[in-house]
Structure 1
Amino acid sequence: MFSTFQRLQQYCGFVSSVVICIMAAISLSSFVHLNYLTPVPTASISVDNVQVKYGKPPYGYNYKRQEYASMTFDLDADLSPLFNWNTKQLFVYLAATYPGKQYANKVVFWDSIITSKEDAIISLRNTTANYQIYDVTGKFSERTATVSLEWNVQPYVGLLTFSKGEGRSKFTFPPLASASSQKAR
């Protein structure tokens, strides 16, 4: 009564429906596990050796002379509870938030991709920031910044989840050492 093509189409439709239902169940269960059953990881962050310089930043969209900062930091965090049956990798980053003229600024100065539970225990000492910090206005010395460890859980199936750890650290961008001598260069 039915042709081979119709039977194949029904079989593929049934298999697709079952696979979609399984993927939805996996996505929902890992979302509930990650957001309601897993404790929020804490981080210990210490920012050291912050230097504000005047000149052309080595990287960035703007090559005009302006203030930019570089720093070193210590970081201890255990992100292994974020790995479950549906976690492909974590995108982890340190972000500094500081006040601006019209709104708060948030910049990322270190990031890493963690692909296994064994690598999710982070212990960094005297590490140089991956990126220099600079502001759109060109000036940010003597502003107070709050540093937090944030992450993006990238699952095999489902939605990306963004969150941040409990530990935060504050520091103040120091003034330029000798702004007039650096501007003259």
Structure 2
Amino acid sequence: MYSSLVRAQNTFGFFTTVAGFLALVIALSDLIAPRTPSVGTIKTTNVQVTKQVFVYVTAEWPSVQPGHASSPSSNATNQAVIWDTIITSPSADHLQNIGPIAMKKLRKSAEGKSIDPSRGLLRLKNQKPKYQITHPSGRIAEAKDVTLRLHYNVQPWVGILTWNQDRDYGLWERLKGGVSKKFALPALKKKEGQKA
């Protein structure tokens, strides 16, 4: 009844209970850290508990009913990611895929320096898309009512993986703005001599 195996199982069970409780406390502590993102600035107030923020921009436009070139479908919206980036916290820089010599040089060069205050600020102007927009139908030119929308995903070390918030939750505020005005995609360029 009190063999070494039973004692090892009891010790392991106690360890996993304590580790699970600590992970729960860490996850719940993220709920009390305020988040106040806004257009032009994706900001978390406690970078020690945040592993990274994934930021991306999508192009969205209404689907068109088959056979009706101008009438939009009642419940379908097309969405394509056109640009993204990952903002890591300073404590997550060791996750970069670099060798030990390069990491040693990086740490040595960073000694005594403060964290760049512009870290995490995105300033995009005339940014070209990273990804091409495609559609299964192959027809995307001249799409109307296209909007660009900014999205973000907070990925903590332990806790809730949060995506775009469309409303406020306690100290976490929703993203204000982040949607462009509607525009139309351009027509395809035709080669000379090609019939319309």
- Does residue 169 (structure 1) correspond to residue 180 (structure 2)? The answer is yes
Please state how far the C-alpha of 1:134 moved relative to its aligned partner: 2.5
1:149 aligns with 2:160: no
One-letter amino acid of the counterpart of residue 18, structure 1: V
Identity between Structure 1 and Structure 2 (%): 32
Matched, 1:95 2:58: yes
Counterparts of 1:104-123 in structure 2 under 5 Å? 104-116=77-89, 119-123=119-123
SS in 2 for 1:81: coil
TM-fit CA distance, 1:21: 0.6
Structure 1 Cα separation of the partners of residues 14 and 146 of structure 2: 55
CA contact (8 A) 2:24 2:159 kept: yes
Structure 1: where are the runs of 5+ without partners?
A: 44-76
Post-superposition offset of 1:42: 1.6
The residue that corresponds to 1:56 in the other structure is: none
The count of aligned residue pairs is 148
Deviations 1:106-126 (A, max 9, x none): 111001111126531111222
Task: Name structure 2 gaps, 5 residues minimum.
Answer: 65-72, 91-115, 166-174
Distance 1:27 1:142 in 2: 43
Question: Given the alignment of the two structures, is residue 42 of structure 1 paired with residue 38 of structure 2, yes or no?
Answer: yes
Counterparts in 2 of 1:149 and 1:178: CA distance versus 1, 3 Å: closer
Instruction: Judge conservation of contact 2:82–2:129 (CA < 8 Å) in 1.
Output: yes
* 1:1-12 matches, cutoff 5 A: 2-12=2-12
Please state which structure has a larger fraction of its residues in strand: 1
State which drifts further: 100-109 or 116-125. Answer: 116-125
Describe the superposition over 1:43-65 as per-residue Cα deviations: whole angstroms up to 9, x where unpaired: 1xxxxxxxxxxxxxxxxxxxxxx
Report 1:15-164 matches (<5 A): 15-30=15-30, 32-33=31-32, 37-39=34-36, 41-43=37-39, 77-81=40-44, 83-101=46-64, 102=73, 103-116=76-89, 119-140=119-140, 141-163=142-164
Q: Relative contact order (C-alpha < 8 Å, sep 6+): which is higher?
A: 2
Over 3 Å counting, the alpha-carbon distance change for 1:182 and 1:155 in structure 2 is farther
**Structure 1 pair 115/175, CA: closer, same or farther in 2 (3 Å)?**
closer
RMSD of aligned residue pairs (Cα, Å): 2.7
Moved more, 109-118 or 16-25: 109-118
Could you tell me whether the CA contact under 8 Å between 1:92 and 1:113 is conserved in 2?
Answer: yes
Counterpart code for 2:135: D
